[in-house]
């Protein structure tokens, strides 16, 4: 089996939320919702497959937006993935997930569905929208019931860093398959929320302790990796593991690519 080469593909800006920290909608940058048309999508997909063939890699896609399910050709794209036996993960919202939708995702080859949680109820709903926290937790089981792995991803900033340990407990309680986090890069109105290096290091140490305690207790939620250099935990998410190695292909629009990111498939 060739090593994976992962592409994160933003197919649309369309989304039911307007998160405080969203880079698409920050500072009114998105004046009109942009989406790729079907011709562009077919061409992009073919370019990615060509790229993998040339570099002797197996393609893996992280399909996102916006909320990718809102793209009019979302299902058509997944059919294309299936026809080409290309595995993929969806990074999306919880609002349009039903048992039927998740069964269809599974039938088309979806391996993981990643949802975001940015704190406990009050903090998360402030970042995203009222009700978002509860529906996100509820949909973990909808995803799992269909045989898809449920991933919870948190963007850590100065606003929510104190909530992360309690959030981990909540995610474990709701039986997510994977918990991952990454550090917020200020892009919008939320600029004054930086984290001092030692505070972030403390978070990593706290998470490592929690991870070890949960593991010893037989917890099935996967969490972090340990950095071989520092011995500190690293988040198991592809975004994190690929930090510093983001590439772009000139011929491929709306796609960012991470060599070796397939190692993070869980």
Interface ranges with ligand SF4 (CB under 6 A): 15, 17-19, 22, 24-25, 65-66, 93
Question: What one-character DSSP code corresponds to residue 163?
Answer: G
In whole angstroms, how close is the CB of 231 to ligand SF4 at the nearest point? 32
* Of residues 16 and 206, the one with the C-beta less far from ligand SF4: 16
The phi, psi pair for 10, rounded to 5°, reads -95, 110
In whole angstroms, how close is the CB of 164 to ligand SF4 at the nearest point? 18
In whole angstroms, how close is the CB of 199 to ligand SF4 at the nearest point? 23
164-170 long-range contacts, CB within 8 A, separation 24+: 164/203, 164/206, 164/207, 165/206, 165/207, 165/210, 166/120, 167/117, 167/119, 167/120, 168/207, 168/210, 168/223, 169/210, 170/117, 170/120, 170/137
* Of residues 69 and 164, the one with the C-beta less far from ligand SF4: 69
In whole angstroms, how close is the CB of 143 to ligand SF4 at the nearest point? 16
* Of residues 26 and 142, the one with the C-beta less far from ligand SF4: 26
Q: To which residue do tokens 């061409």 refer? A: 43
User: Which is nearest to 100 in space by CA: 146, 42, 32?
Assistant: 146
In whole angstroms, how close is the CB of 1 to ligand SF4 at the nearest point? 32
* Of residues 30 and 222, the one with the C-beta less far from ligand SF4: 30
* Cis peptide bond upstream of 66, omega within 30: yes
């Amino acid at each position: 089996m060739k090593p994976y080469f992962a592409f994160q593909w933003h197919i649309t800006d369309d989304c039911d939320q307007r998160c405080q920290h969203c880079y698409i909608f920050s500072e009114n940058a998105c004046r009109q919702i942009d989406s790729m048309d079907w011709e562009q999508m077919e061409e992009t997909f073919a370019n990615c497959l060509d790229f993998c063939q040339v570099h002797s890699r197996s393609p893996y896609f992280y399909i996102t937006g916006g909320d990718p399910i809102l793209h009019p050709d979302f299902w058509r794209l997944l059919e294309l993935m299936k026809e080409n036996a290309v595995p993929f993960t969806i990074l999306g919202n919880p609002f349009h997930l039903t048992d039927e939708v998740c069964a269809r995702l599974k039938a088309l080859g979806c391996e993981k569905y990643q949802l975001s949680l940015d704190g406990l109820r009050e903090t998360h709903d402030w970042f995203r929208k009222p009700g978002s926290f509860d529906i996100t937790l509820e949909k973990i089981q909808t995803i799992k019931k269909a045989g898809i792995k449920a991933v919870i991803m948190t963007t850590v900033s100065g606003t929510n860093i104190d909530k992360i340990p309690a959030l981990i407990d909540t995610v474990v309680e709701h039986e997510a398959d994977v918990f991952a986090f990454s550090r917020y890069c200020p892009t919008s109105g939320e600029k004054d929320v930086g984290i001092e290096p030692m505070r972030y290091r403390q978070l990593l140490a706290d998470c490592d302790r929690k991870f070890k305690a949960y593991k010893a207790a037989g917890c099935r939620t996967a969490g972090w990796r340990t950095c071989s250099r520092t011995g500190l935990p690293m988040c198991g998410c592809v975004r994190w593991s690929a930090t510093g190695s983001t590439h772009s292909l000139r011929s491929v629009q709306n796609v960012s690519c991470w060599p070796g990111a397939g190692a993070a498939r869980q």
